[in-house]
Amino acid sequence: MKTNKTRVLLLDLDSTRPDHLGCYGYHRNTSPNIDSIAKEGVRFTNYYTSDAPCFPSRTALMTGRFGIHNGVVGHGGTAADVRHEGIDRAFRDRIGKDCLPAIFRHAGMKTALISPFAERHSSWTFYAGFNEMHNTGKGGMESAEEVTPVALDWIRRNAQEDNWFLYVNYWDPHTPYRTPEKFSNPFEDDPLPDWITDEVLEGHKNKIGPHSASEINMYDNRTLPQYPRHPGEITDRDGLRRMIDGYDMGIRYMDEHIGLLFQELSAQGVMDDLIVIITADHGENMGELGIYGEHGTADQGTCRIPMIIRWPGLQSDHVYDGLHYHLDLVPTLAELLGAPSSSSWDGQSYAAALRTGESCGRDYLVVSQCAHVCQRSVRFGDWLYVRTYHDGYHLFDKEMLFQLREDPYEQHNAAGERRDICKDAVYYLNEWHDQMMQSMPHDVDPLWTVIKEGGPYHAKGFLKNYVNRLEETGRAYGIEELKLRHPREFA
């Protein structure tokens, strides 16, 4: 597929869930510029990060390997470092030649990255394969007006070159919501999600666990004056509106800046032939499992992500429903650009879906989360099965099962009623785990490394103080269960 003028723009939109984009059916006008690209390309409806949240997700994408293989499944401890190759390491490591940017390098293209992400998580392998790295300098606290000028400057200097790949990272949907005050709220009169009824919201207010309606600030309700759009807790529907509107404004503000990039690319005369890829590292729970403004579970809200690919000459205005991981992008790009495949990749190419619309999805997916909780989930058919190994103080059931077609917001745990479906899910989970463990030179599953090192990074050392918070807010009924589940933290 390579031509003499191959130009690719990849937009990595942190914390962006697909069902808050217009092209995915959202009732609010959050994303007109993103929607315009979806109309001209392929929109994937069942696309998931293999490993959540941020660092595990982007490491899986850049390496083309599951976290269980590349070693990064959390945000701290041993499982927050890419595995060393050890005695078999050559003069250059494998990541440098097998990473996502290396595909473009092989195709003779200049590669550039605009993102602070490597510094944010000390994830220096994120730089592998890029000719240029531009750190916007605030470790993920950037707003779009701080990212866009860097991207526009790069476009003006490089757009008319023949072969390039530009990766741009926006952060506005990530907490704390920080859309500038001068940006009006276009959603103040739009309806809130109808599934969050007064009864549902009351249940969320009584929930135990970080990032519940009573603790938007993870373990308390503190707010920061420099982020007036971001709530500390949700006590009523006005608070719910502040939460939902804050998230959606982040998307809309980011989308307007994406529009500025498109305008400049048009002015440079390269927009019509440009390959555009729009995706995210993870989604964001906005009430699912009683969690708001966080990407801390292995569920639909956190792990389903947008994927929109406009590739001139391939499928246009097409919706594709097959199951795919984000790491499937790596072999897909290699096939389309004529680059060699790598035996280290866990991904499977879906180039046929882009070329002809052919169905080439997987039978099931296994997605993992080990930074806030330790969970692995199986996505198959209409079902999502969630297995919890460490609950991150949420008091989740060990097994949760959701029928996503009828219950997309994970309100009813059907595990007790559908043991047959749970057994199918456990079979898939075991099959996946066997394949992973048999196909790596290590005998350690990093999920268990996280647990043995004291649990998920974002749940370490907070429980005793959180118990005081529960007592102060009339939710002491959860303390005994927390003591039963986490006795070491009370020792």
Residue 483 domain-assigned (yes or no): yes
**Cα–Cα separations (whole angstroms), residue 149 to 159, 160, 166:** 15, 18, 14
* The three-state (H, E, C) secondary structure of 428-450, written as one string: HHHHHHHHHHHCCCCCCCHHHHH
pLDDT for 187: 97
Question: Residue 276's beta-bridge partner residues?
Answer: 9, 310
Distance (Å, whole) CA 127 – CA 125: 5
CATH number at residue 472: 3.30.1120.10
Does any domain span residue 374? yes
In whole angstroms, how far apart are CA 106 and each of 39, 65, 334, 340?
A: 30, 19, 9, 8
Element (H, E) at 389: strand 383-390
Cα separation, 385 vs 398, in Å, equals: 11
**Domain stops at, among 305, 336, 362:** 362
Query: In a structure prediction context, what are the per-residue pLDDT tens digits for the chain, which is 491 residues long?
Result: 444 789 999 999 999 999 999 999 999 999 999 999 999 999 999 999 999 999 999 999 999 999 999 999 999 999 999 999 888 899 999 999 999 999 999 999 999 999 999 999 999 999 999 999 999 999 999 999 999 999 999 999 999 999 999 999 999 999 999 999 999 999 999 999 999 999 999 999 999 999 999 999 999 999 999 999 999 999 999 999 999 999 999 999 999 999 999 999 999 999 999 999 999 999 999 999 999 999 999 999 999 999 999 999 999 999 999 999 999 999 999 999 999 999 999 999 999 999 999 999 999 999 999 999 999 999 999 999 999 999 999 999 999 999 999 999 999 999 999 999 999 999 999 999 999 999 988 789 999 999 999 999 999 989 989 999 999 999 999 999 999 999 988 87
Q: Domain of residue 424: give its range.
A: 367-490
In angstroms, rounded to a whole number, what is the distance separating the alpha carbons of residues 89 and 380? 37
- Which residues are CB-neighbours of 404 under 8 A, at least 6 positions away? 300, 382, 383, 384
249 lies in the same domain as 206: yes
Q: What are the strands of the beta sheet with 275-279, ordered from one edge?
A: 132-134, 110-114, 164-170, 7-13, 275-279, 307-310, 42-48, 318-325
Q: Which of 344, 362, 380 is the last residue of a domain?
A: 362
- What is the SS3 assignment for 207? coil
> For residue 80, how far is the Cα from the chain centroid?
17
Cross-strand partners of 11: 168, 278
Q: Is 349 in the same domain as 406?
A: no
Task: Tell me what pLDDT residue 46 has.
Answer: 98
Cβ-contact 76, 129 below 8 angstroms? no
Rounded Cα gap, residues 49 and 26, in angstroms: 21
Instruction: Identify whether residues 331 and 473 lie together within a single domain.
Output: no
Task: Please tell me the predicted confidence (pLDDT) of residue 88.
Answer: 87
CATH number at residue 23: 3.40.720.10
Q: Give the residue among 402, 336, 15 at the shortest CA–CA distance from 165.
A: 336
Instruction: Tell whether 1 is covered by a domain.
Output: no
Quick one: 348 exposed, middle or buried, by C-beta within 10 A (0-12, 13-18, 19+)?
middle
Do 223 and 77 fall within a single domain?
yes
Q: Tell me if 37 is assigned to some domain.
A: yes
Same-domain check for residues 133 and 174: yes
Q: Are residues 381 and 482 in the same domain?
A: yes
Same domain, 208 and 320: yes
| Number of structural domains the chain divides into | 2
Assigned domain for 32 exists: yes
Instruction: Please tell me whether residues 93 and 157 are part of one structural domain.
Output: yes
**353 and 372 share a domain?**
no
pLDDT at residue number 59: 98
Exposed/middle/buried for residue 12 (C-beta within 10 Å: 0-12, 13-18, 19+): buried
- Is the CB of residue 297 less than 8 Å from the CB of residue 375? yes
Domain boundary among 318, 338, 362: 362
Give me the pLDDT at residue 2, please: 44
- Same domain assignment for residues 355 and 463: no
Verify that 25 and 49 share a domain, yes or no.
yes
Same domain? 316 vs 182: yes
